[in-house]
Chains A and B, each alone.
Chain A
Amino acid sequence: MTGHILWNDRDVPYEQGETLAQALNRAGITHLGTGLAGQSRSVFCGIGQCQNCLVILEGKGPCEACRVLCADGLAVSPVGTPHD
């Protein structure tokens, strides 16, 4: 089971069981946005403790990229991206 997630409207492929962070990192996307205090968003602790990899899940809100499993068509964007 594979598919694509959308990162800023870019197709990023994933494989079964991958988290958003794993799929994004494998596609070479390690910089996941810039936080409100100017800090770089990226994976750090990998287990949902540090909150450094927060991204916006469309229709849901902020979530940790290291904890959420990919699903086909899931739209993900960096924190701080203006919404329509």
Chain B
Amino acid sequence: MTDRRILVVGAGPAGLSAAATLAQAGQRVVVVDQAPQIGGTVYAQNRTGDTRPLSHAKERRALFDVVAAQRERIDIHCSTSFVGLDYQGNALITGADGFLFQPKAVIMATGARELVQPRPGWTLPGVTSVGALQVDLKTAGRPPEGRIAIAGSGSLLYALGAQLTRAGKAPAVIFDAAHPFLHPLATARLPLHILQEATGFILTLIRARVPILSGTRILSVEEKKGALSLKTNHGGRFRTVEVDRLGLHDGLARNDYGLQKNPTIPVIAAGDCRDVLGRFAAVKDGNRVAAEILNLLGTPAPGISLTSLNTEKAAQRRLKSIFAHDGCNDLNDLPDETILCRCENRSVADLKALTATDQTPRMLRLNGRFGMGACQGRFCLDWVAKLTAAEMGSGPSRPQRWPLRPVLIAEILNAADHSGNETHIEESAKCTFR
């Protein structure tokens, strides 16, 4: 029998726990992550050499220790991307380490996709996703310069707000489209660990007197004298606020990009990319999917209890109801010049012109270029689908093909061919387990 390895894409909680479970069962695992360090976005490590404690330090430590104990069987390639799987089951890996090999199974643990609703001006420099600000804070260990506003909806607004405050830089304001504080009953029924974390965030924000304006939406963003001018709407009352940075966030979604069926080997999703249940569930889901793979390979698999997964699932449903709002209706009122597709610079007017003629969902891509850009529709197709639901139901079709991300031809040519043999593939970048 050949000693083929199992590929795990993503070194966040789901990917790392899956890798550890597989290694404990005697399997050899190759983990790739396109970030320079392991941990994913939630356990992103401070890279500056600063040794102050990081957020979620204890959970991160516990996860890293399990992986470190199995390091002999787990290769970890950071700054390295999974590009795709051909029909024969060859995986192309590029980046810091480039190679082609034949895994015996693939676990996709690429994490959630952050949703950001289009608004006029959301493509301006200085406007980022809330996730981007959070990863920036975690990895640089210090907040960005200037006044920061956080807007949209979801628990991440408060997480980032509190983390910035604790790092010495309270945000200027938080605009929440929903009314999360008007749901005390649903809130009280959240699991204790979520409630404790949320209470900590809110207390931090209150103590720092950060203005939290719920039921408030950003109508537009403009660049004025080097700053960002935000026009907000609170139930018909309009205001203008000036900041230097704006973080936008409208929830998290599962991420099935790259989850292609393969005729030769199993490809299974784990963690937030399968279902957004948060970091605790992701660790458990990694164990669960690893056991599933072991069963498929006909090797003994550990029994995994699904109780905690179900608890997290119920909690996420509750959180969704707490942060529910009708802000998506704003999509229909977006001015014509609003950019929908950031990659190809396609606007609401471009979409309207297409839907006015008789178009199929496929033609929205081919003629409209929606979903054809470098991000492959990750940031526009949700909204294009909502805006065209009346005309074409399902919305534009989603490309399910590789490469999963833009790749340089030179990288394909330079990938070392390991498809025929099973020698160890050197890790060029040393990843740390802080």
Shortest distance between the CB of A59 and any CB in chain B (Å): 10
Bound-state CA distance A46–B135 (Å) is 7
Q: Is A67 an interface residue (CB 8 A)?
A: yes
Q: B408 contacts the other chain (Cβ, under 8 Å)?
A: yes
Distance in angstroms between the alpha carbons of A15 and B46 in the assembled complex: 12
B128 touches A67 (CB 8 A): no
A52 to B342, CA, bound (A): 8
Q: Which residue of A lies closest to B47 (CB)?
A: A17
The complex places the Cα of A62 from the Cα of B344 at a distance, in Å, of 17
Specify the chain A residue showing the minimal Cβ separation from B409: A61
Q: How far is the CA of A17 from the CA of B429 in the complex (A)?
A: 13
B36 touches A44 (CB 8 A): no
Total contacts A to B, CB within 8 angstroms?
115
- Interfacial chain B residues near A68, Cβ < 8 Å: 79
Tell me which residues across on chain A come within 8 A of B345, comparing CB atoms.
35, 37-39
In the complex, the 4 A-B pairs of residues with the closest C-beta atoms, listed nearest first: A17-B47, A46-B132, A42-B125, A51-B374
Say whether A16 contacts B47, CB under 8 Å.
Answer: yes
Interface status of B361 (Cβ within 8 A of chain A): no
From residue B149, how far is it (CB to closest CB) to chain A in Å? Answer: 15
- What CA separation (Å) do A42 and B124 show in the bound complex? 8
Tell me which residues across on chain A come within 8 A of B129, comparing CB atoms: 44-46
Encoded as 1 (CB less than 8 Å from any A CB) or 0, chain B from 36 to 50 comes to: 100001000011110
Residues of chain B at the chain A interface (Cβ within 8 Å): 34-36, 41, 46-49, 79, 81, 113-114, 123-129, 131-133, 135-136, 139-140, 144-145, 339, 342-345, 373-375, 378-379, 405-406, 408, 410
9 contacts between A and B (CB under 8 A): A16-B47, A17-B140, A18-B140, A30-B125, A39-B344, A42-B124, A45-B114, A54-B374, A60-B410
Tell me whether A12 is interfacial, beta carbon within 8 Å.
no
Find chain A residues with CB under 8 A from B136 CB.
Answer: 22, 46
The residue in A31, A38, A39 that gathers the most chain B C-beta atoms within 10 A of its C-beta is A39
Of residues 23 through 66 on chain A, the ones whose CB sits less than 8 Å from some CB of chain B are 25-26, 28, 30-32, 35, 37-40, 42-52, 54, 60-62, 66
CB pair B34–A48 under 8 Å, yes or no, is: yes
Residues of A contacting B339 in the complex (Cβ-Cβ under 8 angstroms) = 39
Q: Is the interface of A mostly helix, strand, loop or mixed?
A: loop
B124 touches A16 (CB 8 A): no
In the complex, which residue of chain A has the Cβ closest to the Cβ of B46?
A17
Residues of B within 8 A of A67 (CB): 34-36, 79
Given A39-B123, A45-B129, decide whether A18 and B47 contact each other with a Cβ distance below 8 A.
yes
Contact between B47 and A32, CB atoms less than 8 A apart:
no
Chain B residues closer than 8 Å to A49, beta-carbon distance: 113-114, 375, 378-379
B410 contacts A61, C-beta separation under 8 Å: yes
Query: What residue of chain A has the Cβ atom nearest to residue B342's Cβ?
Result: A52
Closest to A17 in B: B47
Q: How far is the CA of A81 from the CA of B132 in the complex (A)?
A: 26
Please give, as numbers and ranges, the residues of chain B lying within 8 Å of A51 by CB-CB distance: 343, 373-375, 405-406
Known: A42-B125, A44-B129. 4 other contacts (CB 8 A): A22-B136, A44-B379, A48-B35, A68-B79
Residue from the set B49, B128, B139 with the largest chain A CB neighbour count within 10 Å: B128
Q: Determine whether A74 belongs to the interface, using a CB cutoff of 8 Å to chain B.
A: no
What residues on B are CB-neighbors of A39 within 8 Å?
123, 339, 342-345
Which of the residues A22, A35, A43 comes within 8 Å of B139, measured between beta carbons?
A22
- Residue ID in chain B nearest A42 by CB atoms: B125
- Bound CA–CA A28/B146 (angstroms): 10
Interface-centre pick from A1, A18, A52 (highest chain B CB count, 10 A): A52
A17-B344 Cα distance, complex, nearest whole Å:
32
Smallest CB–CB gap between A5 and chain B, Å?
Answer: 15
Q: Mark A6-23, 1 if CB is under 8 A from B, else 0.
A: 000000000111110010
CB A77 to nearest CB in B, in angstroms, measures: 16
